[in-house]
């Protein structure tokens, strides 16, 4: 029986450094990580190579129809919006939609709220604009967890601040404190699930 926690991390300007700090503190913790960042269409970032220096987890570029696994990190191509359904990732072209603004965080979080409800965790790091605020609210309404970076620690505080202003953020934390907060959230739910599963066997 599948019971995957999905941690979706959205960021834009100023978010790379807190992202690295975040993964410096991530253990093998029975979760899947999705990174949603703003990057121009046609540009290939070096995020996988950079992040691998800060994480023990395997980092993969997402492919259409890819089945997610625990303790892995998935990064969508810059030219795509990504969604999730039935533990699979799906890509669609961003080129044919809106080239002027990137809604990659909201697009994924909306699908995650529908697909994973209480097993969804949204993390909003530094960045400009409103992307992520709507999606974070949907995660919150579905019973998932929402964490925002402390705005005072951000290069650009708009993304986390807009989520906070939506009254949907459960915790406002430094990047280094986020992985432990996620563990504290996951463990009781996972323990209860395992107890129920044993009773059904």
Which residue numbers are catalytic?
12, 38, 131
Which stretches of the chain are assigned E, i.e. beta strand? 5-11, 31-37, 58-61, 66-67, 72-75, 80-85, 88-93, 120-124, 145-149, 171-173
Instruction: Please give the Cα distance from 166 to 103 (Å, whole number).
Output: 17
> CB–CB of 31/182 below 8 Å?
yes
Element (H, E) at 180: helix 178-200
Give which of 59, 68, 80, 64 is closest to 119, Cα–Cα. 68
> CB–CB of 136/107 below 8 Å?
no
Joined tokens for residue 77: 């191509």
| Cβ neighbours for 198, distance < 8 A, ≥ 6 positions apart | none
DSSP 68: P
């Amino acid at each position: 029986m599948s019971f995957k926690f999905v941690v979706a991390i959205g960021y834009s300007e100023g978010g790379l450094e807190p992202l690295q700090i975040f993964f410096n503190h991530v253990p093998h913790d029975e979760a899947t990580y999705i990174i949603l960042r703003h990057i121009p269409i046609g540009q290939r970032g070096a995020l996988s190579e950079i992040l691998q220096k800060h994480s023990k987890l395997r980092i993969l570029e997402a492919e259409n129809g890819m089945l997610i696994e625990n303790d892995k990190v998935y990064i969508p191509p810059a030219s795509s919006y990504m969604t999730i359904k039935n533990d699979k990732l799906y890509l669609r072209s961003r080129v044919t939609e809106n080239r002027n603004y990137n809604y990659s965080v909201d697009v994924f979080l909306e699908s995650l709220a529908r697909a994973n409800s209480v097993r969804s965790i949204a993390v909003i790091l530094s960045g400009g604009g409103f992307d992520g605020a709507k999606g974070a609210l949907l995660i919150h309404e579905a019973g998932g967890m929402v964490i925002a970076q402390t705005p005072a620690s951000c290069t650009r505080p708009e993304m986390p601040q807009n989520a906070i202003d939506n009254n949907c953020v459960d915790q406002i934390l430094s990047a280094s404190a986020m992985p432990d907060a996620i563990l504290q959230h996951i463990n009781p739910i996972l323990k209860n699930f395992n107890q129920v599963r044993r009773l059904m066997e």
